[in-house]
Amino acid sequence: MMRSLVIALTLLGGGGAFADDANTLLNQTLAVTLGGKEVGTIDAVDKKTADGLELVRITKLKVQRGATTNEMTTKTTVLLKADLSPVSYRYERTDAAGTLVTEGRINGNKLELTSTQNGSTVKNSLDVKPGTTFSVAVEHETRTHLKDGVVADRPVVIEEMGAPVDMHIETKKTGDTYLVKSTFMNLETDEEMNSKGETVVARTPSMGIVAYPPGHAPKDLVTGTSDLLALSTWITKEVRPPVSRVLYKVVAPDAETFAIPEDDRQKIKSRAKDGIVVEVKAGDTDKRVLTAERKKQLTSATPYEEVNDPRIVKAAADAVKGASSKRDEVKKLNDFVFHHVSQKGLDRGYAPAVATLESKAGDCTEHSVLLSALLRARGFPTRLIDGVIIDGTRAGYHEWVEVYLEGEGFVPTDPTFGQFPAGPERLKLAEGSTLPDEHLQLSLAAARLLKPGVKIEVLESSR
């Protein structure tokens, strides 16, 4: 869940306190709260350069996940020409897994990305629309040109994920301040600014995140819990594997529009204002035959899965020795990750496969990304699944893998629990990969579990 929080924090941007230095256009620190409790800061510095502008955003987070404290620092540096057209950006994220660096540049209708961590380098290229710029650049433009009634739609790159999206921005004058609403992929941030472009308060309501100048908390700030584990965990009816069927109820304030994927294994039985009833059965999830193009996508390298790294290739080859079939290869790889990640913990945000292979540490996301990379290195198409698992009487956020087997389709496999195939005590909320655009979709789907009023219940299960 950490990565979802970072996305929202990055999008909140900074304030607008103009320094005396003629070259410094912005220099402000905002305190950030989750559940009404401070979890970190965002620093924003915008400067003129000889060639244009340099925009810097630094987040420092300390977030609780049960008994574990996650510490993470991110730094995003955006370079623009004098006419505000995009040049490049550099994103750095440092946590217990090490430092991940992603550099991006828009070249014509392509976003060219290079990501590096633990000695592995991955290059990706994504299509972008004409006029695409960086999200931090749009934030800078908006606050320096505040005007009542402005409505704009801009194609932007979300630097934290390296993902191109369409962003909708509305600016409205409310008394002595301006309210700026920015929305993409249903994630909305409301930022109140004074006439100088200084931030008064910024909110991401769907995640309970509020940011403001230190010492100036809004009067309506509601105090709750900032524990990400508590926010995404619920007590429910007990499920004892093995089971062949589980009936879930997703309670959400936006239940009538809350998106839940359906496939050969998972079906929505009913939808009403008070929630969605979903049935999940044992079996393969999707029996459709993959196209050659999709197979290529689902076996390719990503910023988090360097499938051609010699360490990944060797580990995968060693793990499958003695396998009698492709299905047996998957089982051996799943078992390898289950045993290899011996330091089970929640102290990492979202580590790349090579980092987890070397550290042998992580939670469900580290298990899943490593397994996906190993499978891809052996030519198996994979996708990551974000959703909820029932562990006894506890329902909580979880990530696992679906692997494509010829003649069968996608089969769920869960390296965190050492299960292949994985049972229906898992409710899928999103599917994708760690390719930048799909990774963002996974992150935002997971973030919905933090929304106040969301709850996952088990109505019944059967063997």
Same domain, yes or no: 362 and 426: yes
Mean of the per-residue pLDDT values for the chain? 90
Angle at 346 between CA 262 and CA 61, to 5 degrees: 100
Look at residue 217 and tell me if it is in a domain: no
Residue 109 counted as domain residue: yes
Q: Is residue 263 part of a domain?
A: yes
Statement: residue 16 has pLDDT above 60:
no
The CATH number of the domain holding residue 435 is 3.10.620.30
In a domain, 226, yes or no: no
261 and 396 both lie in a single domain: yes
Answer whether 0.85 is exceeded by the pTM.
yes
Is 220 domain-assigned? no
**For 1-25, what is the mean pLDDT?**
56
Q: Please tell me whether residues 267 and 297 are part of one structural domain.
A: yes
Question: How many domains would you assign to the chain?
Answer: 2
Per-residue pLDDT, 15 = 44
**Confidence tier at 18 by pLDDT (50, 70, 90):** very low
Q: Clarify whether residues 309 and 179 are in a common domain.
A: no
Q: End of a domain among 160, 177, 212?
A: 212
Q: Residue 224: inside a domain, yes or no?
A: no
Dihedral-angle region of residue 409 (phi above 0 means left; psi in -120 to 50 means alpha; beta otherwise): left
pLDDT in tens, 318-330: 999 999 999 999 9
pLDDT the model gives residue 196 = 85
> Of 212, 241, 271, which residue sits at a domain end?
212
Specify if 361 maps to a domain.
yes
Q: Which pLDDT score, from 0 to 100, does residue 8 have?
A: 60
Q: Report which of residues 348 and 336 the model is more confident about.
A: 336
Q: Are 78 and 340 in contact (CB under 8 A)?
A: no
Question: 275 burial class (0-12, 13-18, 19+ CB within 10 angstroms)?
Answer: buried
**431 CB burial (10 A radius; 0-12, 13-18, 19+):** buried
Q: Which of 212, 243, 273 is the last residue of a domain?
A: 212
Q: What pLDDT does residue 10 have?
A: 55
According to the model, what pLDDT value does residue 2 have? 47
Q: Edge to edge, what strands does the sheet with 275-281 contain? A: 266-272, 275-281, 245-251, 455-462
pLDDT band at 21 (very low <50, low <70, confident <90, very high): confident
**pLDDT-derived band of residue 77, with 50, 70 and 90 as boundaries?**
very high
Domain that holds residue 358: 232-462
Residue 115 counted as domain residue:
yes
**Which of 93, 142, 105, 205 is CA-nearest to residue 450?**
205
Q: What percent of the chain has pLDDT over 90?
A: 70
Burial 449-458 (b: 16+ CB within 10 A, else e): bbbeebebbb
Question: What burial letters (b/e) apply to 387-397, b meaning 16+ CB within 10 Å?
Answer: bbbbeeeebbb
pLDDT digits (tens, 9 = 90+) for 158-168: 999 899 999 99
User: Could you tell me the CA-to-CA distances from 204 to 207, 211, 255, 450 in Å, in that order?
Assistant: 6, 9, 19, 11
Same domain, 166 and 29: yes
| pLDDT tens column, 94-134 | 988 889 999 999 999 999 999 998 888 989 899 999 999 99
Domain co-membership, 203 together with 258:
no
How confident is the model over 44-75, as pLDDT tens digits?
A: 999 999 999 999 999 999 988 878 888 889 99
CA atoms of 252 and 455, how far apart (whole Å) = 7
Are 10 and 133 in the same domain? Answer: yes
Q: Are residues 344 and 301 in the same domain?
A: yes
pLDDT band at 17 (very low <50, low <70, confident <90, very high): very low
| DSSP bridge pairs for 248 | 278, 458
Closest-CA residue to 106 (of 130, 83, 87): 87
The pair of three-digit structure tokens given for residue 55, joined into one six-digit string: 């925009």
* 415 token code pair: 């390296």
Instruction: Render pLDDT for 406-421 as a digit per residue (tens, 0 to 9).
Output: 989 999 999 999 999 9
Whether residues 187 and 240 share a domain: the answer is no
237 and 283 fall within a common domain: yes
CA–CA distance, 149 with 162 (Å, rounded to integer): 30
Numbers of helices and strands, H then E, in the chain:
9, 25
Whole-number pLDDT of residue 345:
67
Same domain? 162 vs 208: yes
> How large is the average pLDDT for residues 176-196?
91
| Cis geometry, peptide bond prior to residue 164 (ω within 30 degrees of 0) | no
Indicate whether 268 and 405 sit together in one domain: yes
Please state the rounded mean pLDDT for residues 76-103. Answer: 93
Stretch among 141-155, 288-302, 349-363, 439-453 having the lowest mean pLDDT: 439-453
Per-residue pLDDT tens for 201-227?
999 887 889 999 999 999 999 888 877
